[in-house]
Amino acid sequence: MSIRFLPTVLLFLFLALQANTLAAQVALRVPVDTVQAEAQTTIRDARDAQRRFEIDRVRWLPATASRRYGACDEMLGRMCLRNDEGGDWYPGPEDPRITRAREELLVVLAAAGTLGDPWILGQRVVYLGEAGRWDEAHSLAAAACSGGDGDGWCRALEGLALHSLGRFLESESAFRVALVLMDAERTRSWNDPEPLLDSEGRAWWNSLSESVRPDRAGFVWALADPFLLVPGNDGLTEFWSRWTVIETRVAARNTYGMRWGSDLEQLTARYGWEVGWEREEYLPLDPGTRGAVVGHHHPESRPLLPDGGVFQDPALATEQAWIPDAFRPRSGYAPAYAPIVLPGAGQLAIFPRGNRFVLVGALALPEDTTFHAKHFHPNREDASPPWRGRASEAGLFLIPVDGQGATLATRAVGREQGGFTLEAPAGRWVASLEVIAPERRRAGRTRVGVVVAVAHPGQVTLSDLLLVDGALPAGASLEDAAARALPRNWLAQGERLAIAWELFGLEDDPEPLLYRLTVEKMDIGLLRRAGRWLRILGSPRVWRVDWEEVGSERPGLALRSVEVDLPELDPGSYEVRLEVRGGWGIPLVGTRTVEVRR
């Protein structure tokens, strides 16, 4: 071995090692590049498959007559909104070719699902849901989130699936995790109720400073809860679900064949995703009809939020204010558990008792008087799968307006009618009288603001007038009166009038009480009003009865009732007025508007 060859040997070894390293790097780099290319090809193929499916879907949609030149109830960017939902349209069976094509698409998407691409995950969830496979959609989203909390996107998809399964409490929890993980701008958009508010509501919302809007948004969404009988706030999770669907559509082909824009975003946020589609027939003399697509939202949809004036002071809102205009709706929602939501579920009456009060509510599931009830739709009576076999339920709720505590409730499972009593501290509330019948896909609700002031010591108070089915027996309790209360604010023509009321704060010593009951028609026509003003016509006929009785048999409290025969009253609205005089001075007056029907 010669020392002088050492540098040559060392150089050879260095070059050999360097060559081996480069070879290893090349050997590693080539497969990585190949895997990435294959992944990109797989994702591209999945996008192409989704695009082809939506194009094919349009080809197989049922044809409908062109309404290209009909009036739009609202123009939303490029979208023409009509609130009649195409007349008597109702969701029907899907073309089998669309069903098969969707299954083929889901196979392609599943093959790409191992790549962890968020777009692929979103498409799989929404198309599984569209196929009615929300359980699988939930499992898929939950698996994507299995590593800890996952990211905000998988949690949002999980919330969408849980909402669609009727698991609203779990849906809300998933969405709240998603919102924490989202960027601030997206979180603000997803919580902002402004798209759903009517003009009065938007004016109120825009008058608020940015600093108070997050708190006020929570207040709006609490009032947007359609039915407190149903666990969770499905009005809120419905809105979050819509934003999730929006995210899946931004970079995907849609059935309209239009580039995604703010108009489609607003449309989905306000009315939800479509539940059916039609294709307008091609008219040879009107090339503009070629390819026009009509998307249908649920035909039973009703506005998700009440009139904007409610938010300014819910405690003062009338029953009518909670029933927004369904013919010009700013938003729409049809709960899966009861798409047919009917107002006027019953009557409510307040019974003040010093620093507390008792609310009496009587209700019955309203008859279906909606437009579609008069027409035959084979699928209309079929309960949504998550709600099949669910028992009917009724209840009475008091929602605090000024943060004075938790919502108070009394409820009964298996009932579609009956009376309830609920005691609460005097204050400002929103009362909600509710009944749901999932098997009949129907629900009824009456909401109204409630303001009860604390009575001063020694002050005598008169309750609201409660319509009952007949005079109460001596010694009857308020619970007895509630059990016999009419679940309505109207009387049939010729029906006897029976009312119950309560005096609170009477002195221990009985004293005579003087009563006057009057019934007077309210909806007098314009010509008759003018005739009365000109004294051409006399005063309207007022039915009146007076009587006297002793004071309370119980110190401080007197429950009374009366039943009378009325003359043959014409149909219309009447004011029933009770005036009570006693030793306290100024007469106490209670009124109730009653409708007389044929």
Closest CA to 414 of 381, 396, 439, 441: 439
Q: What is the pLDDT of residue 69?
A: 60
Residue 191 lies in a domain: yes
d(CA 198, CA 308): 6
Question: With contact defined as beta carbons under 8 Å apart, do 313 and 449 qualify?
Answer: yes
- One domain for residues 443 and 548: no
Residue 323 lies in a domain: no
> What's the token pair of residue 338?
């009861």
DSSP-assigned letter for residue 362: E
pLDDT tens digit string along 297-337? Answer: 999 999 988 999 999 999 999 999 998 777 788 999 999 99
Q: Which amino acid is at 526?
A: L
- One domain for residues 28 and 147: no
Beta bridge partners of 527: none
Residue 322 lies in a domain: no
Q: Write down which residue in 274, 296, 318 finishes a domain.
A: 296
| Cα R_g (the chain), whole angstroms | 33
Sheet (strand 356-364) strand order: 346-353, 356-364, 417-425
**H or E, element range at 466:** strand 466-467
- One domain for residues 495 and 437: no
Question: With contact defined as beta carbons under 8 Å apart, do 467 and 498 qualify?
Answer: yes
DSSP-assigned letter for residue 65: -
Question: Cα angle vertex 106, ends 101, 107, to 5°?
Answer: 100
pLDDT tens digit string along 473-506? Answer: 999 999 999 999 999 999 999 999 999 999 999 8
Beta bridge partners of 296: 276
Specify the residue for token string 């010694």.
475
Q: What is the pLDDT of residue 11?
A: 25
Q: Write down which residue in 406, 430, 454 finishes a domain.
A: 454
Residue 331 lies in a domain: no
d(CA 323, CA 446): 9
Q: Which amino acid is at 415?
A: R
d(CA 230, CA 443): 11
Q: What is the pLDDT of residue 136?
A: 98
- One domain for residues 417 and 363: yes
Residue 413 lies in a domain: yes
Domain holding 39, by residue range, is 3-43
- One domain for residues 571 and 542: yes
- One domain for residues 55 and 13: no
Residue 428 lies in a domain: yes
- One domain for residues 148 and 70: yes
> What's the token pair of residue 334?
């049809």
- One domain for residues 403 and 515: no
CA neighbours within 13 Å on the CB side: how many for 320?
0
d(CA 493, CA 587): 31
State the CATH number of the domain containing residue 345: 2.60.40.10
- One domain for residues 29 and 52: no
- One domain for residues 217 and 267: yes
Q: Which amino acid is at 317?
A: A
Check the CA dihedral 97-103-104-109 and report its sign: positive
> What's the token pair of residue 476?
């009857």
d(CA 471, CA 415): 25
Domains of the chain: total: 4
> What's the token pair of residue 504?
């609170």
Residue 325 lies in a domain: no
> What's the token pair of residue 71?
């009036």
**H or E, element range at 69:** none
Q: Write down which residue in 425, 454, 483 finishes a domain.
A: 454
| Backbone φ/ψ region at 576: left (φ over 0), alpha (ψ -120 to 50), beta | beta
Q: Where are the beta strands (DSSP E) in 381-416?
A: 393-400, 408-413
d(CA 329, CA 130): 25
The residue ranges of the chain whose pLDDT is under 50 are 1-30, 85-86, 526-527, 529-539
Residue 306 lies in a domain: no
Question: With contact defined as beta carbons under 8 Å apart, do 357 and 423 qualify?
Answer: yes
- One domain for residues 222 and 166: yes
Torsion of CA 210, 212, 217, 218, to 10 degrees: 150
User: Which residues lie below 8 Å from residue 510, measured CB to CB, with a gap of 6+?
Assistant: 550, 551, 552, 553
DSSP helix/strand/coil, 457: coil
How crowded is residue 133: how many other Cβ atoms within 10 Å of its Cβ? 16
How crowded is residue 87: how many other Cβ atoms within 10 Å of its Cβ? 11
- One domain for residues 165 and 273: yes
Q: What is the pLDDT of residue 568?
A: 81
DSSP helix/strand/coil, 219: helix
